Structures are given as C-alpha cells and as structure tokens.
C-alpha cells in the first residue's frame, strides 16, 4: 500500500493537490485539496452591487465571462431589473463562444497530453499521418508536407534539449496507447488549436473590448452599443465579422475537435469504465429561448435544468435552488453556529480558519480540515456538475440535437449509454457540447440580427440604475451554467451596499472535500478504483481529474 501525493496538479487552473491511497494497483481512497484562497466574498462586502460583476469576474481568468454574468444576474434578480433582449442575446453569444474556446483549450492544451505521447510522435511517418488524418476528417491542414514540417519542428525542439513545458512529462508510460501517427496528428492540432483559440476569441474583444476579462457587463444590460449607422457600435460590419468567426469555430470543432476526440477515445475503451464518481448530476441549464430570466424561469432553456439521480437517465428531477447548502467540516473555515452544519448560501459565512500543517509540509491531515473548498450539497447529496451533467440532463429531457450527437458518438465507439458515466464519458460529453453550442452560437447571432433589424437598439434597462431607487433591503441569486458546471451567486443588498455575497461554484461542487457525513465529492469518488500502473507516475490520476477540467481559482475564490 502506498500514499501518493500529486501537488501541483498541473494543466489546470490553480492550485490543486490530490492525495491517494493505492493498494494492489488501484486507488482505495482519495482526498482533493485546494491550497489557495483570496477571500473575494469578503472583499465584496460593503461595495456597490453594480461593481460586483467586475470583482467576481476576477475569480477566474479562464472562465472569464461566467462570474460576471452570474453576478449581474444575481443583482438584477435582487433588484427586479430585466435586461433588454439585445443584452440577453449578446450575453448568450459571449457565453456560447466562451464554452467553445474554453473546451477547445481544455481538450488540446490541458487534457490531450494525458492521452498523447509527444515523444512518440517523433517516430511517426508523415505520409501515414496524412492518410490517417484524411480518413477521419476533411480538415485542411492535413497534407504530408504539413506533418513533415510539424515533425521537423518537434525534432528540432527535442534535439535542442530545452523541452520547455514538455520537460519531465510521463513520456513512454505504458498507459499511452496512441500510435505514433495519432500522436503526431494530435501535436499538429495542439499547435493549430493555439492559433485558433486566440483568433476565435477576438469575438470577445469585439463585444467586450478585451479577453480575458471582458469589460462590458452592466447591471441591467451590456455596455456595447448597437447602432447600424455608427462605427462605434455593433453594426452590419461587426455582425459579418462575428459570423465569420463563429463559422470558423464551428468548422474547427466539426473538422478537428470531434474527429480527434473520437480517434483518441477509440484507443482507450477501458476508460469508459473508470472514473464514474458520485452518480448524481446537477445542471442549472442556460440559454433561454425567449426573453426570460434563466435563474428564476427554468422553462424553455436551450440547455435544460434538472438532476439525474443514481445514473438513472429515465428521470430528470426538477431543481429547487433553496436545497443548495455548503458544508465546511473538512474546509479551512468556521461557521458561527458550529462547523458541522450546512448553511444555505444566503445565510452563508466565509470565515477562514486554517488548521492544517505549517508550510513547508509533506502531508495534510485528511482526517481534519484539509482544503480551502467548501462542500456544496444539493438536498444533502453530493453532485457532479459540468458538461457530462448537462449532456445527461439534456439527453434525459429529450433534447433532440444532444440525443443525436450522443447516439452518434456512442455508436461510433460501439458502447452503450452507461459508458457515459466515466472519465472518457466526461471528455466526450464536453466535445459533444462544444459541437452543440458552436452550432447554437450561429442561431443566437441570427436572433440578435433579426432583433436589430426590427429596430431595437436598446442594450440597457435604466430602471433602478440609480441606487436611490433601490429597496432598503433585498436579497436574491443568479444562476448560470458555466463551462465547468452550474454556478450560482447569492447576494444581500442593504442600504445600497453589498451586505453579503456568496458564490457556489462548479469546481467547488466537483472538487470539494468530504462533508460532515463523510460523503466524498465528485473528484474523490471518481478516483476510487482507478488502476495505477506506476505510483511514481500517476498518469491515471491526471486523466480522471483533468476530465473534470478543474479550476481552483473558481472553486476557492
């Protein structure tokens, strides 16, 4: 039996530490710990609620749009402000493209090296690689010459002996199964995806001035004006540019991401039976089909709201936001009423109480508090959130496009729906969702264009912009389905100031420590029974953890 510590977990956002017991070549227990905290919820106290989006946006620079959106929604709900349709559609457009960019970067730059052995690509035959590429997709950069150049570049890079970010990878690990040509193909697309993501996200600069950290959200709407007759506003030219970028995104997903995903998955069928986890899936849903407030009005969301319990796809349970609570018995916080209880976010407290070892330390005391994350629970149940939860809820709710794509992917891999409850299922769900949203983004742009054509130029609802029109006290929440899962912000406003602010974040749901009842969160559960070939090189831990796309800045905030 051995105790493994992986700290830092890299190729994620932030500071995550995994400790695991390995017995007989499999993981028998696991602990997930986030080792960084800033106190943003406390910093928000006493500030102007209209500024909150700008602060919370900095919870994370990777999912840079999501906390801004959850925050303006929370404040709008609290003050009963309804943003105009144009603003709603621009927000959704930004969100859909955030999903595409975030998922592409995750697949190629954060997750791929768990399955792709860079060094093995040096043995690839460029001609055979071109043939392989041609057999899975009509993606343009697939000539023999192109792969020869990539291989040469890689060879030069390895030959110089300065491996840079690829230094000390688990290269040559027996769990790598892709043939050299598959590896070379992936390396080539790794580079292409770097270029793609930065060009594609120029869309956010068009709509929000810059990315990361778009500067365009407002309580009550958006700050990017619309005027077909102005060169300082969204006009026909901007829309044409957006359309071409959206199309480019859809092409990249269809021609590179999805085929690459299927190729990689086909070499790792055993990973459809590893990494399942808690088995309960929660999605808040998003992308309203009408002009509606998606936090309060869950009907008619393009990505539906719901819960799948115990992997039972036949039933989607409705979500009651009031059933959300957070435990801290294993988190470095204290609650006034005792550390054992669970608090709903509107009554939530954030009082740091570090009881861990003094740094530098070798091992955490996992019997006591061991993480900066709280343990969110729904109706006292641990939940997994994220692309898999969303695709399962959509699938169970009868979402046509999702059912189609899930069916196609399962068919091509020759597995049944139960394969979805796994590490590979999570990774596949993310790819499917990217396809769905890359398509949906064009629909959103069409709706925005049609609305502008109809003469509507409004981007902001000035009702209650002025704090003197606010009630003396009010509270509420905003929900958003972020790339990594369901996100909710909860706010209390008193005398024009923030009196309390709590964010309950996707990666907190997944990466949180055990709760008072000893129930494990999604990461800890998913790691159980994972085979470990070499405890010195726990590649398998990275695979399952990366399949969640961890973001610790989000999770701990």
Partner 1 sequence: MPVVDAPTDSILHALASHGVTRRRFLEFCAATTALLALPQSYAPRIARALEDKKKPTVVWLEFQDCAGNTESFLRAVSPSVGDIVLDVLAVEYHETIMAAAGFQAEAAKDAAVAAGGHIVVVEGSVPTGANGVYCTIGGKSAVQILEEVTAGAAAVITVGTCSSYGGLPAASPNPTGAVGVPELVSGVPVINLPGCPMNVDNMVATIVHFLTFGALPAVDGEGRPLFAYGERIHDHCERRAHFDAGQFAQEWGDEGHRKGWCLYKMGCKGPSTFHNCPSIRWNGGTSWPIGAGHGCVGCSEPAFWDTMTPIYGRLPAPPGFGVTTSVEQIGAGIVGLTAAGFAAHGLIKAGQRKRAHKQDEAPIEIESATADDEEGAGQ
The residues annotated as belonging to the active site are 13, 60, 63, 67, 484, 507, 551, 554
Torsions phi, psi for 480 (to 5 deg): -155, 140
Q: Which is nearer to ligand SF4, 58 or 177 (CB)?
A: 58
Q: Which is nearer to ligand NFV, 389 or 555 (CB)?
A: 555
Q: Is 430 in the site for ligand NFV (CB under 6 A)?
A: no
Q: Which is nearer to ligand SF4, 369 or 460 (CB)?
A: 460
Closest CA to 175 of 549, 537, 523: 537
SS (H, E, C) 505-549: CHHHHHHCCCCCCCCCCHHHHHHCCCECCCCCCCHHHHHHHHHCC
**Exposed (0-12), middle (13-18) or buried (19+): which is 252, by Cβ within 10 Å?**
buried
In angstroms, give the least distance from the CB of 504 to Mg ion. Answer: 6
Q: Is 464 in the site for ligand SF4 (CB under 6 A)?
A: no
**Exposed (0-12), middle (13-18) or buried (19+): which is 363, by Cβ within 10 Å?**
exposed
Give the residues across from 94 on adjacent strands: none
Closest residue to Mg ion: CB criterion: 503
Binding mask 201-220 for ligand SF4 (x = CB under 6 A): ------------x-------
CA angle 505/285/37 to nearest 5° reads 5
66 binds, among ligand NFV, ligand SF4, Mg ion, none (CB under 5 to 8 A by kind): ligand NFV
Binding to ligand NFV in span 492-551, by CB under 6 A: 505-507, 551
Q: Is 225 in the site for ligand SF4 (CB under 6 A)?
A: no
In angstroms, give the least distance from the CB of 313 to Mg ion. Answer: 30
3-class secondary-structure state, position 363: coil
Cβ-based neighbours of 26, under 8 Å, separated by 6 or more: 529, 530, 531, 532
Beta strand pairing call for 473-482 and 485-494? antiparallel
Q: CA of 57: how far to CAs of 40, 69, 121, 492, in Å?
A: 10, 8, 39, 18
3-class secondary-structure state, position 468: helix
**Exposed (0-12), middle (13-18) or buried (19+): which is 555, by Cβ within 10 Å?**
buried
503 binds, among partner 1, Mg ion, ligand SF4, none (CB under 5 to 8 A by kind): Mg ion
47 binds, among Mg ion, ligand SF4, partner 1, none (CB under 5 to 8 A by kind): partner 1
487 binds, among ligand SF4, ligand NFV, partner 1, none (CB under 5 to 8 A by kind): ligand NFV
Q: Which is nearer to ligand NFV, 98 or 120 (CB)?
A: 98
Q: Is 503 in the site for Mg ion (CB under 5 A)?
A: yes
Give the residues across from 375 on adjacent strands: 327
In angstroms, give the least distance from the CB of 363 to partner 1. Answer: 8
For the chain, what's the residue count? 557
Q: Stretches 22-30, 81-89, 461-469, 503-511: which one binds Mg ion (CB under 5 A)?
A: 503-511
Binding mask 231-250 for ligand NFV (x = CB under 6 A): --------------------
Beta strand pairing call for 221-222 and 217-218? antiparallel
Q: How far apart are CA 275 and CA 375, in angstroms?
A: 20
Among 83, 126, 431, 483, binds ligand NFV (CB under 6 A): 483
Q: Which is nearer to Mg ion, 326 or 549 (CB)?
A: 326
Say if residue 8 is preceded by a cis peptide, omega within 30 of 0: yes
3-class secondary-structure state, position 271: helix
Residue carrying structure tokens 């669970």: 342
Binding to ligand NFV in span 40-69, by CB under 6 A: 60, 62-63, 66-67
Q: How far apart are CA 384 and CA 308, in angstroms?
A: 10
Closest residue to ligand SF4: CB criterion: 58
In angstroms, give the least distance from the CB of 535 to ligand NFV. Answer: 29
Q: Is 58 in the site for ligand SF4 (CB under 6 A)?
A: yes
Q: Is 87 in the site for ligand NFV (CB under 6 A)?
A: no
Straight-line distance from the first to the last Cα atom of the chain, in angstroms, rounded to the nearest whole number: 35
In angstroms, give the least distance from the CB of 509 to ligand SF4. Answer: 22
Residue carrying structure tokens 């994350």: 373
Structure tokens at 350: 């954030």
Q: Which is nearer to ligand SF4, 124 or 222 (CB)?
A: 222
Structure tokens at 467: 């704090």
Q: Which is nearer to ligand NFV, 62 or 72 (CB)?
A: 62
Residue carrying structure tokens 């300065």: 162
Q: Which is nearer to ligand NFV, 84 or 483 (CB)?
A: 483
Binding mask 287-306 for ligand SF4 (x = CB under 6 A): --------------------
422 binds, among ligand NFV, ligand SF4, Mg ion, none (CB under 5 to 8 A by kind): none
Separation of CA 245 from chain center: 22
Binding residues for Mg ion, rule CB under 5 A, total: 1
Binding to ligand NFV in span 66-85, by CB under 6 A: 66-67
Could you tell me where the DSSP H helices lie in 321-422? 387-396, 400-413
Q: Is 554 in the site for ligand NFV (CB under 6 A)?
A: yes
Q: Is 61 in the site for ligand SF4 (CB under 6 A)?
A: yes
In angstroms, give the least distance from the CB of 152 to ligand NFV. Answer: 36
Q: Which is nearer to ligand NFV, 97 or 129 (CB)?
A: 97
Q: Which is nearer to ligand NFV, 319 or 551 (CB)?
A: 551
469 binds, among Mg ion, partner 1, ligand SF4, none (CB under 5 to 8 A by kind): none
Other beta carbons less than 10 A from residue 152's beta carbon: 11
Task: Name the site residues for ligand SF4 (rule: CB under 6 A).
Answer: 58, 61, 213
Task: Name the site residues for Mg ion (rule: CB under 5 A).
Answer: 503
Task: Name the site residues for ligand NFV (rule: CB under 6 A).
Answer: 13, 60, 62-63, 66-67, 482-484, 487, 505-507, 551, 553-555
């Amino acid at each position: 039996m051995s105790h493994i510590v992986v700290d830092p977990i890299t190729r994620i956002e932030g500071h995550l530490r995994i400790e695991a017991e390995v017995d007989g070549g499999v993981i028998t227990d696991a602990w997930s710990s986030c080792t960084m905290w800033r106190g943003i919820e406390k910093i928000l106290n006493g500030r102007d609620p209209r500024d909150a989006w700008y602060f919370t946006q900095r919870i994370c620079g990777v999912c840079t749009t999501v906390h801004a959106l959850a925050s303006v929604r929370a404040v709008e709900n609290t003050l009963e402000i309804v943003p105009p349709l144009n603003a709603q559609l621009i927000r959704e457009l930004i969100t859909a493209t955030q999903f595409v960019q975030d998922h592409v970067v995750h697949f190629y730059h954060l997750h791929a090296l768990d399955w792709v052995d860079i060094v093995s690509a040096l043995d690839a035959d460029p001609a055979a690689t071109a043939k392989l590429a041609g057999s899975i997709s009509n993606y343009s950069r697939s000539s023999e010459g192109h792969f020869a150049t990539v291989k040469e570049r890689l060879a030069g890079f390895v030959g110089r002996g300065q491996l840079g970010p690829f230094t000390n990878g688990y290269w040559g690990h027996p769990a790598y199964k892709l043939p050299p040509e598959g590896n070379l193909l992936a390396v080539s697309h790794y580079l292409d995806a770097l270029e793609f993501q930065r060009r594609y996200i120029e869309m956010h600069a068009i709509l929000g001035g810059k990315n990361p950290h778009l500067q365009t959200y407002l309580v009550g709407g958006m700050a990017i004006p619309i005027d077909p007759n102005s060169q300082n506003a969204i006009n026909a030219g901007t829309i044409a540019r957006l359309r071409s970028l959206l199309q480019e995104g859809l092409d990249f997903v269809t021609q590179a991401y999805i085929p690459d995903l299927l190729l990689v998955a086909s070499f790792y069928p055993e990973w459809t039976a590893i990494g399942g986890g808690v088995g309960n899936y929660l999605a808040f849903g998003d992308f309203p089909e009408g002009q509606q407030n998606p936090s309060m009005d869950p009907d008619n969301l393009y990505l539906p709201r719901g819960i799948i319990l115990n992997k039972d796809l036949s039933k989607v349970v409705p979500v009651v936001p009031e059933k959300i609570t957070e435990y801290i018995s294993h988190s470095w916080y204290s609650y006034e009423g005792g550390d054992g209880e669970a608090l709903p976010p509107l009554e939530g407290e954030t009082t740091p109480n570090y009881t861990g070892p003094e740094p530098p330390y070798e091992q955490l005391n996992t019997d006591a508090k061991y993480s900066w994350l709280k343990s969110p629970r729904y109706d006292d149940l641990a939940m997994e959130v994220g692309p898999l939860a969303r695709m399962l809820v959509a699938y169970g709710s009868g979402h046509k496009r999702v059912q189609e794509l899930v069916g196609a992917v399962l068919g091509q891999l020759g597995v049944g729906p139960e394969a979805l409850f796994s590490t590979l299922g999570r990774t596949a769900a993310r790819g499917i969702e990217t396809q769905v949203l890359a398509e949906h983004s064009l629909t959103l742009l069409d709706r925005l264009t049609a609305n502008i054509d109809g003469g509507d130029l409004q981007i902001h609802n000035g009702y209650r912009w002025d704090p003197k029109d606010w009630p003396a006290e009010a509270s509420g929440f905003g929900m958003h389905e972020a790339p990594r899962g369901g996100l909710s912000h909860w706010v209390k406003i008193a005398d024009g100031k923030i009196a309390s602010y709590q964010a309950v974040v996707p990666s907190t749901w997944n990466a949180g420590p055990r709760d008072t009842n000893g129930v494990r969160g999604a990461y800890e559960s998913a790691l159980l029974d994972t085979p470990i070939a070499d405890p010195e090189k726990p590649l398998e831990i990275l695979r399952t953890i990366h399949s969640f796309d961890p973001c610790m800045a989000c999770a701990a905030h």
